[in-house]
Structures are given as structure tokens and as C-alpha cells.
Amino acid sequence: KQEVTQIPAALSVPEGENLVLNCSFTDSAIYNLQWFRQDPGKGLTSLLLIQSSQREQTSGRLNASLDKSSGRSTLYIAASQPGDSATYLCAVRAAGGNKLVFGAGTILRVKS
């Protein structure tokens, strides 16, 4: 059974800092990995998707990497801003399936 763990559970940083969020998964037979952002009381916004054959994806100040063999992904946020404050969720999709298995999330607070 796939299990996804995110570390840290919560993070508070001053504006302008670069930061890294970590995601690990127990079964390396994945189809892809997706990073989402969730604002309080809202739905999920897809940030980045990495296929199992890829090593990283970039979008603006966000960079996500994937090391499938070791079961790890990181989300790097450069020059953090207060608007980045949200819960960040990592989800993996198993090879041959459609179901996303989510981590518990990292609650990020960027202080101005």
C-alpha cells in the first residue's frame, strides 16, 4: 500500500527566503507525482506534475525534483512571498492506476 509522507508538517519563514518542501513515498512504481497548493477553505491548485521518467519540472519560482528510485520529491520555492502562504500537498499516482495518494501536507507561512 502506497504511503506518502511530507516533511516538515509546518514551516514559517521570513519573506525572501528560499525553501524546500519534502515528499517521500514507499512504493517507487509510480506513474507521476503532482504538487498542489491549497488555500484555507479552498480547493486544490495544481502546481507541477512530474512524470516518472522525468527528473524535474520548473514553473516560475517553483522547481520540483523527483528521485523515483529513492522514493523522494522536493519542491523548491525561490524568493518566498507572503502570497505563497498555503498548504502544499504532494500526491503520487501508481503505475497502471488513476488514484492519487496524498501526503498530509506542509503548512507554509511566509512572514512579511
Residues near other proteins (CB under 8 A):
31-32, 34, 36, 41-46, 49, 51, 89, 91, 93, 98-100, 102-105
CA distance 33 to 18: 22
CB of 75 to other proteins, least distance (A): 16
CB of 17 to other proteins, least distance (A): 25
CB of 104 to other proteins, least distance (A): 5
Return the number of the residue (53 or 112) whose C-beta is nearest other proteins: 53
Return the number of the residue (71 or 105) whose C-beta is nearest other proteins: 105
CB of 18 to other proteins, least distance (A): 25
Return the number of the residue (41 or 112) whose C-beta is nearest other proteins: 41
CA distance 60 to 30: 25
Return the number of the residue (80 or 88) whose C-beta is nearest other proteins: 88
Q: Which three cell numbers, joined as nine digits, stand for 48?
A: 507541477
